[in-house]
Chains A and B, each alone.
Chain A
Amino acid sequence: MNSSSAFPDEVLERVLGMVKSRKDRSSVSLVCKEWYNAERWSRKHVFIGNCYSVTPEILTRRFPKIRSVTLKGKPRFSDFNLVPANWGADIHPWLVVFAQKYPFLEELKLKRMFVTDESLEFLAFSFPNFKALSLLSCDGFSTDGLAAIATYCKNLTELDIQENGIDDKNGNWLSCFPESFTSLEVLNFANLNNDVNIDALEKLVGRCKSLKTLKVNKSVTLEQLQRLLVRAPQLCELGTGSFSQELTCQQYSELKRAFNNCKNLHTLSGLWVASTQYLEVLYPACTNLTFLNFSYAPLDSEDLSKLLVHCPNLRRLWVVDTVEDKGLEAVGAYCPLLEELRVFPADPFDEGVAHGVTESGFIAVSEGCRKLHYVLYFCRQMTNAAVATVVQNCPDFTHFRLCIMTPGQPDYLTDEPMDEAFGAVVKNCTKLQRLAVSGSLTDLTFEYIGRHAKNLETLSVAFAGSSDWGMQCVLYGCPKLRKLEIRDSPFGNAALFSGLGKYESMRSLWMSDCKVTMNGCRFVAQERPRLNVEVINEEGGDDSRAEKVYIYRSVAGPRRDAPPFVLTL
């Protein structure tokens, strides 16, 4: 087909503009030059999984019409203090370029980026159409930065502040929304601690008629919550404050009525410290719930069971392990449509007490919830047999993240490694995209992964494996692998070199406290100039050991903003 019989550009752009999926857009851009151009001109949203893989200049040159940017910065293990402070991922240089090239920018979603108050102010002033800000696992800013956003972003529809390393000075930022401001649709400040002016919040909620998501923090009392609900019965997502105030009978019935009137709620979160007697007020609102996030609410099994009876349509459930196995039995019994379960530990460092969930809770959920495809499970004991049962019941897992909390712990019944458990996972779950392994694991686990996990994209490894062979199996065997993060495992240079043919097709590799040496890293850097090979050696000591290695593909070349402790080889 020659270009004269093809669609006019405008039509092509129009059609391709309807393609939303990232992968599809990538494919589209590879078809031919016309399609590449049509795609780049029609693209409104861009996702950058590693902020150092590209520069803002390169980005803006290729995609001139972007309205929405998602950026991820630091390696994931930075969430667990494995990356020193001041590592990088500063949003500011991006904002400076965007201010010039994307003056109509509307949306910014940041994860693990370094964001200062100055940057937030700059954002507020530079983009008059700015609508949606979402910050997850970021750090460097304070509530002053939020105040700037609230004050100056006249068209703001979304302010979503999730778990961040924020300097939580006070709640004044909320009072900065002008009285004329009415456009808010999403407000999430659940993870901030300070009191906000409840009067200002009430008025804000009252005048923002399109508000669909409201997640308040634990300083908001039940009484105050009732007043908010009365002003926003249209809410679809609600994060409550603390559920533990002393209420009079009248207040109680008013609260119950308020929840009764929320007919559109599909997501509920919060609770924080919940008194059993008040959980009842939630029941009327539970029928249409699809997502229950109680991951900051240490409920017991009884409270959870009584609530879940009313939640037959639940698809996603996040809980704390205070619900114990009995609570999980209730999940299996009452929530047949469940697709995602996350169980967080209440007290991850308390090893003296046998609380939490075990393999039997896991099995119970799998028996009742056959559609389960996403699990994150923190536990103190597990068996190979139990995991095998779980994946037999639920073969559709796409995300399987099992964290046995004591490193290197074997099957507690047989004392064997947990190899067969993960073997069962990868054999049964052919759609598996993400896997996190734990417990005592030999190279056999990785043999299984390499042999069977053909759709695996993300793998997390800690305190596992016996030799280089393990990592080699994964690198040779998993064609779709994009992210590999490994800590405290006996993989060295031979393993590292096995991936030389692969790293450019991956987003990144992280290896910390393994057996890789500086010379090994230098070799990789030499052989693959299109990779950035960065080493962090914090403490002095052995020069030849590479404590923390971060390797990623990039068209941006080596970082120019690397701090002194990051060596680019």
Chain B
Amino acid sequence: MDKTSSSLNFKETELRLGLPGCESPDRKPVTSTDRGVSFFGNKNLNINVCSPLNNLVASVGAKRGFSNAIDESVKKLHEKNKQVAGTNEDANAHAPAAKTQIVGWPPIRSFRKNTMASNLTKSNDEAEGKPGFECLYVKVSMDGAPYLRKVDLKIYNNYMELSSALEKMMFADSCRRLRIMKGSEAIGLAPRAMEKS
């Protein structure tokens, strides 16, 4: 499976976080049927902008739940070994490869995982603990913000860390609240497709 970093088209892979009702002119609109941009291997990860001012919805097209998809994706990023078909073989081996994340483990309710992740005040500065990996840079732009930010996805262990880091980087002044949630939790909050409200 080839690393996505080398084949990234930055325009294509921009993670756009925009205010409601605005559409970036040089981007094709992302609908729920689109595959969207995939940062993580072959999993489908659509980042959409939705209408409510205070909420950003990240909807995941993967068959499994959000955290499952991300677990799998992070595993692909961190794993040195050959791609395995699923987490099960890892698990049955009893001593899984270093730093893999397994579906549903440790046994903590999603609610608690999400809440604790957003409560963490200390930022994770473990970049130095991961030698030998290539960087996976993406550019993040926010509509209305003057600057793009370059972010190394590999220094974040999970989606929650990424979202907090982005939050700190960009939204302190202009956005009251940023919330990233899995698709199933976003039901009723906003249309998945980017539509004018």
Contacts and interface: CB of A to CB of B under 8 A. Distances in A.
A537 to B, nearest CB: 12
Contact of A344 (B67, B94, B95, B112): B112
Interface in B83-127: 86, 88, 91-92, 94-96, 99, 101-113, 115-117, 119-121, 124, 126
B111 A165 contact: yes
Contact of B104 (A80, A298, A346): A80
A512 to B, nearest CB: 9
Given A165-B185, A351-B99, A353-B126, A77 B115 contact: no
Contacts of A296: 112, 115-116, 119
Interface in B47-95: 63-65, 67-68, 74, 86, 88, 91-92, 94-95
Given A85-B184, A295-B112, A547-B88, 8 more contacts: A79-B107, A85-B65, A347-B117, A353-B126, A378-B108, A407-B102, A408-B96, A488-B102
B129 interface: yes
Contacts of B99: 351
Given A81-B65, A167-B185, A298-B120, A348 B106 contact: yes
A547 B88 CA distance: 9
A167 to B, nearest CB: 5
A513 B102 CA distance: 12
B91 A407 contact: yes
Interface of A: 77, 79-82, 84-85, 137, 142, 163-165, 167-169, 191, 193, 272-273, 295-296, 298, 320, 344-353, 378, 403, 405, 407-408, 440, 460, 462-463, 487-488, 490, 513, 538-539, 547
Most buried by A among B96, B104, B110: B104
A272 B187 CA distance: 26
Interface of B: 63-65, 67-68, 74, 86, 88, 91-92, 94-96, 99, 101-113, 115-117, 119-121, 124, 126, 129-130, 157-158, 179, 184-189
Contact of B101 (A167, A320, A349): A349
Nearest to A347: B120
Contacts of B129: 352
B168 to A, nearest CB: 15
Given A298-B119, A349-B158, A163 B94 contact: no
10 contacts: A142-B188, A163-B112, A167-B185, A296-B112, A296-B116, A298-B116, A347-B120, A407-B105, A462-B105, A513-B92
B64 A378 contact: no
B116 A79 contact: no
B116 A80 contact: no
B44 to A, nearest CB: 16
B185 A346 contact: no
A187 B148 CA distance: 45
A352 B187 CA distance: 34
A298 B115 CA distance: 11
Most buried by B among A81, A164, A273, A462: A81
B101 to A, nearest CB: 6
